[in-house]
Structure 1
Amino acid sequence: MHDWMVAFGIRKKGIGFQAAELTESVSELSNPARGWYQIHTFAAEQEPDFEELRWCLHPKDTLAFLLIDIGHFRDRDLEQEVLDRIRRIFSFFSERSYDCIVRIVYDHEGKALLREPSFFSQVKSHLEQIGRLMEQFADTVFVFQGLLVGNWGEMHSSKFLSEAQMGQMAEILRRYKGEETYLAVRRPVYWRMLHEEQKETGQVTADDMGIFDDGILGSESHLGTFGTQSRKCASWNSPWERTEELSFETEIGRLAPNGGEAVYSRDYLQELTPETVLDILGKMQVTYLNRAHDTRILEVWKEWKYPGAGLWKGKSIYDYVSAHLGYRFLIRKACVSFKRKDHVYFAEIEVENTGFAGYYQEAEICLEYTDNSGVYSSEVLEPRMKGWKSKERRRLARTIEAGDGGVYLTARRKKDGAVIRFGNESDEQGRVLLGEITGLL
């Protein structure tokens, strides 16, 4: 017993319970619906080589970005054969438990005006078809980016971007998407155009739409993501200057996932420091980033050291970013005390989300232990993790009738039971040992 206790860093704390050291890990956690992704590009008219695709998957990724080009069908509805092909693509990633970021486009070469349909009615028809497909894979599609239109599907250089048209396209997607599928638009100003009803208060309320910024750190404006006018001088439906748009993205990111691509710029790099990079990613509430789009900026991050003290001192900011994309739940404190009068234990645990972003899906935290009858038990401590914001701490407490043995904390996503690992050291099952009840009363 003594050797086991030493191995797990057990120290005595109070009668009958010996608490474990809650050591934070510096590992990148393979948790669902957050982290790095790579793009998998498909032409809707061509059958993918799924065997080859298997070998292209990154072993650590839980996210997959599916870019599906339907430009070949710009003048007609998608045929059943094409819909079945897209369904097979979705199924391939669903069977491997990926959370998918999906962008379906008419163009992936910067030629949207040549590749888009001639009539808006065809765009809406395609969205209806895609929406019905997305409905079938509600548990797989995490984020649906864009509205089909624009160069690379990035909602620029298109004739279908009036406020009225964008509203109709977004409404079609909303009719079909699942409760835990989020939409995303390219710029904050597009978000505001699609939320005219929030203009009066100027505040972001509960919503299902985030931002995908594919120009992160590429320039002062993130390659045109932001404008130059102050919020006071500009209208609700105009782009604002960088600082105010970043603050607006902070509000959006508390309700829906933001992400995108970081871009290297030799000139703008001179304006950046490790501190500013981490500050910007935090303000953007970044949940996901492309690991392969522009590796030059990622190589810089691998060279730059984390600017703070503590556990991450000496690590690269790439390592820090990898660990903090999206949510990262860290157990700060844990105390289990014996209540002699009732012959029960009272557990109190403090957990903080130290990630850049919030948590956007239904999940729960459980306390696992052996009860006083010798039966392994699990009690829900936190039934609703969805909506847990970045930097938010929660105090979780429960009375348990426990017997001898370890007390563990676990977290799982509700829809599929996927393990959500804490930032603390854990076992292979993702359980964090809080301590050992010994029965020495």
Structure 2
Amino acid sequence: MNLIQRFLIFLFGLLILVLILRCMRQSVTFTAEKFSESNEVLENPYQGYYHIIGYTLNDTDEAIASHADTYSDSLVLLEINLKNYKNTDISEHALSQLEQIFKDWSNTDTQILLRFLYDLDGIAKATEPDSLSTILTHIDQVSEIVNRYSDSVYLMQGIFIGNWGEMHGSEFMNDTSVHTLINHLNESIDSSIYLSVRTPAHWRMITNLYDVPKKFPAFQANGNLIARLGLYNDGMLGSVSDLGTYGDTKRKDATSPSYKGTREDELKFQNTLCQYVPNGGEVVSDNSYNDLPSAVESLTTMHVSYLNADYDNTVLDKWKNTTWNQNDAFYGCDGYTYIQAHLGYRYLVTKCTMKSFGFLNSQLNLSIGLQNTGFGNTLKEFHATLKFKNTETGEISSVPIDYDLRKLKSTQKKTLSVSLPRKSLKSGSYQVFLSITDAQSEKQISLANTQGIQEEGLLLGRMEY
């Protein structure tokens, strides 16, 4: 090897060394925020306390006041009374009233819990149609309007029948009629809208299943009835049986899927089912089952995401006058607030770290510890995104996080990991944010951390690059 060749090799080696040293000098420093949970109630979609607003369609009033413009909560239960059309089709005038009601609510940020019924006085047999075919026709008529506003309707409670629309006290509660009604709703109502029945026994009778399938068809808006069929319980925590919601048959002794199980067995059933479908309703009758510690335990097991804010006041007032005394962020808060803050999902960032890896440290990896401290989990698709904001230019680079947040169940923790090439970011100072948004509305989801949400999301830390 001659002198020139040796010199060229030396220069090449020197160049490589310079490049390595340069990469080493371009180190990344990341300073994470301090993460702790607040005791704030978060205004997030698809969960929370709700109020009931009722309407009776008729041919007399020119229009029906919706009251949507004065409502501010994230959920509302709309009860639509069809008693004036007991044995006739719903008139065009009444359908126009219904259309206007939905139009008004669609202009708000409130999601609708929807119940059609024929009775508000506990006398369904006197006010319901004489023929099942009339109810099926009514379903056809209203579904056209409901489906036009499907983005605003989260779920539908019941199958139109029963005292107060609660699937009891009706001539049509035989198995054949119930199957006919729920299957017609499944065919008629937009598949993105959840359906709900009153008891676990109803769910099992309809699906002909003793237990929740191990391979549950979760989050499939494709017309699969099992995938969209949840529960609503208006006797929640009212007694050992939740006022007849449960029975006394043990699972091992059941001879039909429609059995009413013991409280213990039915809570286990809901613990599995309601990871995939909604559960909510109203609490009733002051008793030991709705004392605060017992209530929180049951609401967590049932994965409850919504409750009536107005009924039963004997229970709600008891919660308001009871202090939460566990050693967490809510120590000293009243029980009503604690429960409100934990209905549905509640995301808390617990840690955030960043490291370099790969050849010449060419890759960056950011890990985020995320915990769901709520009673339930989101059943709607959310998008999680990492955002790098250049503090000098304001330019934002976004990196999607590949994780389905519907899988983060109540009380669970998950480490979200994102890797990206260092060259994808210019040298500079950055703020790093976690943004979680509702895929449907693009609404920013508030997180439970004390620092709160900014326009870009939750500030995770600052990076120098």
So what's the TM-score if we normalise by structure 2? 0.85
Give 1:427 deviation, angstroms: 3.0
**Cα contact 2:28–2:463 (8 A) shared by 1:** no
**Cα contact 1:312–1:320 (8 A) shared by 2:** yes
Percent of aligned positions that are identical: 28
> Which residue matches 1:351?
370
**Cα contact 1:339–1:345 (8 A) shared by 2:** yes
Task: Give yes or no for the alignment of 1:48 onto 2:60.
Answer: no
> Which residue matches 1:182?
194
> Which residue matches 1:18?
31
Distance change (3 Å), C-alpha of 1:24 and 1:282: same
**Cα contact 2:403–2:416 (8 A) shared by 1:** no
Task: Give yes or no for the alignment of 1:244 onto 2:265.
Answer: yes
Task: Give yes or no for the alignment of 1:284 onto 2:302.
Answer: yes
How far apart, CA to CA, are the structure 2 residues paired with 1:226 and 1:26? 34
Deviations 1:198-254 (A, max 9, x none): 348875833211111101122111111111221222332111111111111112211
| Structure 1 unaligned regions, length at least 5 | 1-13
Distance change (3 Å), C-alpha of 1:354 and 1:67: same
How far apart, CA to CA, are the structure 1 residues paired with 2:144 and 2:33? 50
> Which residue matches 1:30?
43
**Cα contact 2:204–2:211 (8 A) shared by 1:** no
Distance change (3 Å), C-alpha of 1:252 and 1:430: farther
**Cα contact 2:77–2:113 (8 A) shared by 1:** yes
Find the partner of 1:306 among 324, 332, 339. 324
**Cα contact 1:275–1:307 (8 A) shared by 2:** no
Secondary structure in structure 2 of the residue aligned to 1:139: helix
Task: Give yes or no for the alignment of 1:360 onto 2:379.
Answer: yes
> Which residue matches 1:5?
none
Find the partner of 2:134 among 116, 122, 125. 122
Deviations 1:91-150 (A, max 9, x none): 111110211000010111111001000011111111122222222121111010000000
Distance change (3 Å), C-alpha of 1:346 and 1:172: same
> Which residue matches 1:7?
none
> Which residue matches 1:205?
216
How far apart, CA to CA, are the structure 2 residues paired with 1:98 and 1:200? 34
Match of 1:409, as an amino acid?
L
What are the residue-to-residue correspondences of 1:325-404 with 2, within 5 Å? 325-339=343-357, 341-370=360-389, 375-382=395-402, 384-400=404-420, 401-402=424-425, 403-404=428-429
**Cα contact 1:147–1:169 (8 A) shared by 2:** yes
Give 1:338 deviation, angstroms: 3.6
How far apart, CA to CA, are the structure 2 residues paired with 1:107 and 1:203? 38
Instruction: Looking at secondary structure, tell me which structure has more helix per residue.
Output: 2
CA RMSD of superposed structures (Å): 2.1
Distance change (3 Å), C-alpha of 1:344 and 1:202: closer
Secondary structure in structure 2 of the residue aligned to 1:260: strand
Match of 1:237, as an amino acid?
S
Match of 1:334, as an amino acid?
C
Distance change (3 Å), C-alpha of 1:201 and 1:140: closer
**Cα contact 2:212–2:273 (8 A) shared by 1:** no
Give 1:371 deviation, angstroms: 6.2
Point out the structure with max Rg over C-alpha: 2
Find the partner of 2:123 among 103, 111, 121. 111
Secondary structure in structure 2 of the residue aligned to 1:194: helix
Secondary structure in structure 2 of the residue aligned to 1:407: strand
Task: Give yes or no for the alignment of 1:70 onto 2:82.
Answer: yes
**Cα contact 1:421–1:430 (8 A) shared by 2:** no
> Which residue matches 1:140?
152
Task: Give yes or no for the alignment of 1:437 onto 2:463.
Answer: yes
> Which residue matches 1:222?
242
Distance change (3 Å), C-alpha of 1:339 and 1:420: same
Distance change (3 Å), C-alpha of 1:130 and 1:213: same
Deviations 1:41-62 (A, max 9, x none): 1011143224x5533x2x3x11
Match of 1:350, as an amino acid?
G
**Cα contact 2:356–2:363 (8 A) shared by 1:** yes
So what's the TM-score if we normalise by structure 1? 0.89
Secondary structure in structure 2 of the residue aligned to 1:229: coil
**Cα contact 2:384–2:436 (8 A) shared by 1:** yes
Distance change (3 Å), C-alpha of 1:180 and 1:281: same
Find the partner of 2:341 among 302, 323, 326. 323
Match of 1:290, as an amino acid?
N
Distance change (3 Å), C-alpha of 1:37 and 1:272: closer
**Cα contact 1:106–1:149 (8 A) shared by 2:** yes
**Cα contact 2:386–2:398 (8 A) shared by 1:** yes
How far apart, CA to CA, are the structure 1 residues paired with 2:212 and 2:302? 21
Secondary structure in structure 2 of the residue aligned to 1:386: helix
Give 1:273 deviation, angstroms: 3.8
Paired residues in the alignment total 418
Deviations 1:390-422 (A, max 9, x none): 223222111244441210001001112011111
Distance change (3 Å), C-alpha of 1:204 and 1:159: farther
Secondary structure in structure 2 of the residue aligned to 1:433: strand
Distance change (3 Å), C-alpha of 1:200 and 1:330: closer
